[in-house]
Amino acid sequence: MKKEITLNGLAELIIETRKDLTKVIEEKNNETRKDLTGLINETRKDLTKIIEEKNNETRNDLTGLINETRKSLEKKIDYSSEELATITQGQFLENQEYMDKKFKEVNTKVDNLDLEVKNHRVHIFTHKDLEHRVEKTEEKLEKHEITFHGVAKASA
């Protein structure tokens, strides 16, 4: 059976086909939109998870670096403190040697003075002894007619 194709028939066929194609396109468009929306949401979740993991890794890396740096600085401070203590102790020992030498010199001089004082004869006079000696000396000087100030005594 052959159908005759008329203009009206062809127009109806085009309209029906267009309606069918529009419906199919809209359905596919809606499916694609839903698929893309789901894919975008999953990608967002995955990226958010990756970013959070990277942030945690970076935070952990930075914390590790900070701890290593702190330990390194503490070691350097300890080393510097020990070095400073060594230098200070060395200077103290140098000063102690110098002071020991000076103390020995002073002790030697004091010992020498003690020996000199002990070797000198020291006479201890009382006040009466001194008065008696002064009187005897004055008598001798009067005998020779000399005064204490080197002026001759006038004869009476």
Is 9 a residue whose pLDDT tops 70? yes
Residue 40 lies in a domain: yes
Q: Tell me the average pLDDT across 62-67.
A: 91
Question: What are the distances in angstroms from CA 126 to CA 8, 123, 130, 133?
Answer: 170, 10, 6, 11
Q: Tell me the average pLDDT across 35-57.
A: 91
Question: What are the distances in angstroms from CA 63 to CA 45, 70, 75, 130?
Answer: 27, 10, 18, 96
> Within the chain, what is the greatest distance between any pair of CA atoms?
204
Residue 28 lies in a domain: yes
Residue 121 lies in a domain: no
pLDDT digits (tens, 9 = 90+) for 73-120: 998 888 888 888 888 888 888 888 888 888 899 999 888 888 887 777
Q: Are 142 and 154 in contact (CB under 8 A)?
A: no
Q: Are 121 and 114 in contact (CB under 8 A)?
A: no
Instruction: Identify the domain containing residue 71 by its residue range.
Output: 10-98
- Structurally, the chain folds into a number of domains equal to 1
Give the H/E segment covering residue 47.
helix 7-119
Q: Are 148 and 141 in contact (CB under 8 A)?
A: yes
Is 37 a residue whose pLDDT tops 50? yes
pLDDT band at 155 (very low <50, low <70, confident <90, very high): very low
Q: Tell me the average pLDDT across 43-52.
A: 92
Helix (H, G, I), strand (E, B) or coil at 153: coil
Residue 29 lies in a domain: yes
Residue 103 lies in a domain: no
| Whether the model pTM is above 0.85 | no
Residue 152 lies in a domain: no
Residue 53 lies in a domain: yes
Residue 83 lies in a domain: yes
